[in-house]
C-alpha cells in the first residue's frame, strides 16, 4: 500500500488508524468536513467533503490503494453511492451483531454487491461509548442508564485501529470477517464502578426504563427501528452477555487492552479540570494545531466577545459553531504564516494568552502582524467566556 483513504479520521478510532498508517510509512488521505478543525498531522492529505456526498468521496478516493470505511449514520441511506466511489480494497468498521441486520449488515451487503475486496471488522461495544456518562460523572454523582446488568465485552479504540491498520496493509485479510471484543465481560454497572475508581469518586446508578432509553436515542436522532433494536439488544445482554473473542491478540500478537486501562487513560474526561489544567491544555492544543482538542475544552454555549475589527465595536458570539463560522468569515482572505503564543497567565478562575499572527492578505499580497490578547473564564472545568483585545501596529509604509 502507498496511499490509504481514512474516513472518520477525526474520530476516536480514526485518529489511531491515521497514526498507525503513518507509523507504517503509508501516505494517508483523510476525508474531513472542516479541514481547519481536523487537527491531523501536516503530512496527512486533507480532502474537504462529506461521506454522504458521492462527489466528495470520488475526489478523496482518487488514486488511493485502499480505504478505511466508517459509516456514521443510523441507516444505510446514501451508503450505496458512497461505496461505489471507494477503491476496490475496503476495510469496514462494522458491528458484532451485523449478521442480525441493521445498518451495519446493510453496508456489508452493499460492499459485497459492489464487488469490493472487503474486510469486515465486527467490533463489540466500544469502550469510548462510556463517554456518554462523562457529563453526569463530572458534574454529579448519579448515572442514569438502562439495564445496569447488561454484560458487554468492551473493546478499546486503539485495538480496533490496530487491527484496521494491519488488515489494510496485508491483502491476505481480504474477504475475512473478524469479530473483535475486549478481553472480558463487564456489566454496565461494573463499567461505571470502574470509571468511578479511576476518578476517585462515588457514583450511584439510576435505572432507566426501556421506554426512557428508547426516547433518549430518538432525541439523539436515532431511527426508531434502531432505537427499538438497541433497547431489545441491551435487554438480552442481561442473561446472554456479549461473547469474548481472542481475535485481537491473535492478529496483533499482544493481549487486548482492558476497560480498566481505558478508564485510567480517559479519567480526565470524567472529572472537573482545574483552571490551570484547562489553560495549559488549551495552549498546548492551540500551539500544535490541534484545534479540535482546544474546542473540546470549551462549554457548548461558550461566549466570545471581540471587536468587529481592530478598534471597532464589540460583538458577542455564542456557541462553538457560531464562533467558528465567524472566524472563517473574518479570515476568508487571510493566510496565516506563523502563530506565536505567550501564556497562559493564570488569574484565579481566568487565564490570559497573547497571540501574535504573521499573516498575508491573499488578494493584495500585503503581509502584516496582528497581536491579540484572549482572556478566558473557566467554570466547572470548561471555558465559558473569551474576551478578545486586538492590537495591530501601524504599517511601516
Q: What is the pLDDT of residue 312?
A: 57
What is the C-alpha separation between 40 and 290, in angstroms, rounded?
7
What is the C-alpha separation between 24 and 118, in angstroms, rounded?
21
C-alpha cell at 23: 507509523
Residue 316 in contact with residue 305, Cβ under 8 Å?
yes
3-state class percentages of the chain: helix first, strand second, coil last, to nearest 5: 40, 30, 30
Question: Can you tell me which residue has the cell 454555549?
Answer: 301
| Domains in the chain: ranges and CATH | 3-270 (3.40.50.720), 275-391 (3.10.450.50)
Angle at 147 between CA 146 and CA 150, to 5 degrees: 130
How would you list the strands of the sheet with 3-7, edge to edge? 45-48, 27-32, 3-7, 66-69, 89-95, 117-123, 177-180
SS3 letters for 45-75? EEEECCCCCHHHHHHHHCCCCEEEECCCCCC
Q: What is the pLDDT of residue 397?
A: 39
* DSSP sequence for 145-203: EE-TT-EE--B-HHHHHHHHHHHHS-GGGTT-EEEE--SS-EEHHHHHHHHHHHHT---
DSSP letter, residue 126: B
pTM value > 0.75: yes
* pLDDT values of the chain reduced to their tens digit, one per residue, 397 residues: 689 999 999 888 999 999 999 999 999 999 998 887 787 888 999 999 999 999 999 999 999 999 999 999 878 899 999 999 999 999 999 999 898 878 899 999 999 999 999 999 999 999 999 998 998 998 899 999 999 999 999 999 999 999 999 999 998 999 999 999 999 999 999 999 999 999 999 999 999 999 998 998 888 777 787 788 889 988 999 999 999 999 999 999 999 999 999 999 999 889 989 999 999 999 988 877 677 778 888 988 899 898 755 455 677 888 887 877 777 777 777 777 778 888 899 988 999 999 888 888 888 888 888 888 999 999 989 999 999 888 765 444 3
- Beta-bridged to residue 229, according to DSSP, are none
What is the C-alpha separation between 175 and 118, in angstroms, rounded?
5
76 three-class SS: coil
User: In terms of DSSP bridges, do strands 350-361 and 117-123 run parallel, antiparallel, or are they unpaired?
Assistant: unpaired
Amino acid at each position: 500500500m502507498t496511499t490509504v483513504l481514512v474516513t472518520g479520521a477525526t474520530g476516536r478510532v480514526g485518529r489511531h488508524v491515521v497514526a498507525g498508517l503513518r507509523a507504517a510509512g503509508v501516505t494517508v488521505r483523510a476525508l474531513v468536513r472542516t479541514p481547519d478543525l481536523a487537527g491531523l498531522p501536516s503530512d496527512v492529505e486533507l480532502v474537504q467533503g462529506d461521506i454522504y456526498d458521492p462527489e466528495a468521496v470520488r475526489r478523496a478516493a482518487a488514486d488511493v490503494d485502499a480505504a478505511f470505511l466508517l459509516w456514521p449514520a443510523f441507516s444505510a441511506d446514501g451508503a450505496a453511492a458512497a461505496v461505489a466511489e471507494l477503491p476496490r480494497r475496503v476495510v469496514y468498521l462494522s458491528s458484532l451483531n451485523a449478521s442480525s441486520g441493521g445498518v451495519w449488515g446493510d453496508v456489508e451487503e452493499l460492499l459485497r454487491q459492489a464487488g469490493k475486496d472487503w474486510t469486515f471488522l465486527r467490533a463489540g461495544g466500544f469502550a469510548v461509548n462510556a463517554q456518554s456518562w462523562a457529563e453526569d460523572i463530572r458534574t454529579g454523582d448519579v448515572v442514569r442508564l438502562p439495564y445496569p446488568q447488561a454484560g458487554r465485552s468492551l473493546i478499546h479504540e486503539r485495538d480496533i485501529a490496530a487491527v484496521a491498520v494491519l488488515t489494510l496493509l496485508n491483502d491476505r485479510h481480504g474477504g475475512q470477517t473478524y469479530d473483535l471484543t475486549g478481553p472480558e465481560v463487564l456489566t454496565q454497572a461494573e463499567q461505571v464502578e470502574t470509571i468511578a475508581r479511576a476518578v476517585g469518586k462515588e457514583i450511584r446508578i439510576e435505572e432507566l426504563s426501556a421506554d426512557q432509553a428508547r426516547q433518549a436515542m430518538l432525541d439523539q436522532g436515532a431511527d426508531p427501528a434502531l432505537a427499538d433494536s438497541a433497547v431489545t439488544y441491551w435487554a438480552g445482554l442481561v442473561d446472554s452477555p456479549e461473547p469474548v473473542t481472542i481475535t485481537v491478540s491473535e492478529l496483533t500478537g499482544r493481549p487486548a487492552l482492558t476497560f480498566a486501562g481505558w478508564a485510567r487513560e480517559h479519567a480526565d474526561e470524567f472529572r472537573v479540570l482545574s483552571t490551570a489544567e484547562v489553560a495549559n491544555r488549551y495552549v498546548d492544543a492551540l500551539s500544535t494545531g490541534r484545534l479540535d482538542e482546544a474546542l473540546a475544552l470549551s462549554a457548548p454555549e461558550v461566549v466570545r466577545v471581540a471587536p468587529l475589527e481592530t478598534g471597532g465595536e464589540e460583538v458577542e458570539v455564542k456557541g462553538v459553531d457560531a464562533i467558528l463560522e465567524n472566524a472563517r468569515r473574518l479570515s476568508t482572505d487571510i493566510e496565516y504564516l506563523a502563530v506565536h503564543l505567550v501564556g497562559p497567565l493564570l488569574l484565579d478562575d481566568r487565564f490570559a494568552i497573547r497571540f501574535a499572527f504573521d499573516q498575508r492578505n491573499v488578494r493584495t499580497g500585503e503581509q502584516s502582524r496582528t497581536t491579540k490578547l484572549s482572556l478566558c473564564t473557566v467554570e466547572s472545568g470548561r471555558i465559558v467566556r473569551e474576551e478578545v483585545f486586538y492590537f495591530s501596529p501601524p504599517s511601516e509604509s
